[in-house]
Amino acid sequence: MNWKTIETVSIVNTEGVTENIHIQHDGNFYKIQNEFGNMSFEFDISSGFNFADTLQAIITSDINNEITQFLNKQDARDSQGSNDYVNGTPSQVGLFENVKSINNKNNGLNIKLNKTSKKITK
């Protein structure tokens, strides 16, 4: 098989080290391979789509839970009359420290969604 790399994605592993993951295609199948070549997954388009859809749903759910927990902690603290951060920035905010790269990957979708529309006057 003649694999062609169509995308390289940088991820941070459990040790905090950045690793490049190559997404490859041979015309019929896809392959995800780490930069060292010692781990890879090969799959057809249908099972790859199902995998990507499932992974996105899992991660989206985790992010939504983190946001909900963070907001609930903020609400609980605010209801006690304390608006000041006691120990600096809450740890949950670190989830979004790399938003710029996320936004670049989705072609600025976050910016487009957060823009306010013009007010319509009668």
Could you tell me which of 107, 101, 99 has the C-alpha nearest to residue 9? 101
Residues 6+ apart with CB under 8 A from 92: 66, 67, 69, 70, 73
What's the rounded Cα separation, in Å, for the pair 34 and 40?
A: 7
Q: Where are the domains of the chain?
A: 1-43, 45-115
How much of the chain, in percent, has pLDDT values that exceed 90? 48
pLDDT surpasses 80 at 103: no
Q: What is the pTM of this model?
A: 0.57
Residue with tokens 């199948």: 29
In sequence order, what E strands does the chain have? 4-12, 18-25, 30-34, 40-43
Rg of the chain in Å (alpha carbons) = 20
For the segment 36-92, what is each residue's pLDDT rounded down to a tens digit? 989 999 999 999 999 999 999 999 999 998 888 888 777 666 666 555 555 555 555
Give mean pLDDT, residues 4-11: 96
Q: How far is C-alpha 26 from the chain's CA centre?
A: 26
